[in-house]
């Protein structure tokens, strides 16, 4: 059974950083691209970043957290990381990771491209 578990969220002040983790099990992690999305209260879920099975293949949202997020992966421990920096109150959201068999600059932005989803980790930025 495929499983993705996010962690690392929390309550932070503006300007601080967080590193989110997504740990996978139950499928061949190295064959999958892992994407990150976020969903704020009352808003639709939006794409943040994706990293392919080739760790040099990654795409970022042009509008969400531009220049303030970095995605990486460590296949030895089945984990993808999302480093968030210079956090702002508008970054408050639940952050989700998801696994997909394919990666593309356009397709990776679409929720339908993903096969498995985690339950999310909450990031709250308060001033």
**pLDDT > 70 fraction of the chain, expressed in percent and rounded:** 100
Report pLDDT for 127.
Answer: 84
Report pLDDT for 82.
Answer: 98
Please give the average per-residue pLDDT across 85-110, as a whole number: 95
Q: Which residues contact 26 (CB under 8 A, 6 or more apart)?
A: 1, 2, 3
Q: What is the pLDDT of residues 6-41, one digit of tens each?
A: 999 999 999 999 999 999 999 999 999 999 999 999
Is there a contact between 108 and 100 (Cβ–Cβ < 8 Å)? yes
């Amino acid at each position: 059974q495929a499983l993705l578990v996010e962690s690392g969220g929390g309550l932070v002040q503006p300007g601080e950083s967080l590193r989110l983790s997504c740990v996978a099990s139950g499928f061949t992690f190295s064959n999958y691209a892992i994407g990150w999305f976020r969903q704020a209260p009352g808003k639709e879920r939006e794409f943040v970043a994706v990293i392919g099975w080739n760790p040099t293949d990654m795409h970022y949202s042009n509008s969400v957290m531009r220049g303030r997020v970095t995605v990486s992966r460590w296949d030895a421990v089945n984990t993808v990381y999302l480093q968030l920096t210079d956090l702002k109150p508008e970054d408050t959201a639940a952050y989700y990771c998801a696994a997909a068999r394919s990666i593309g600059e356009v397709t990776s932005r679409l929720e339908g491209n993903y096969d498995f989803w985690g339950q999310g980790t909450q990031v709250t930025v308060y001033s």
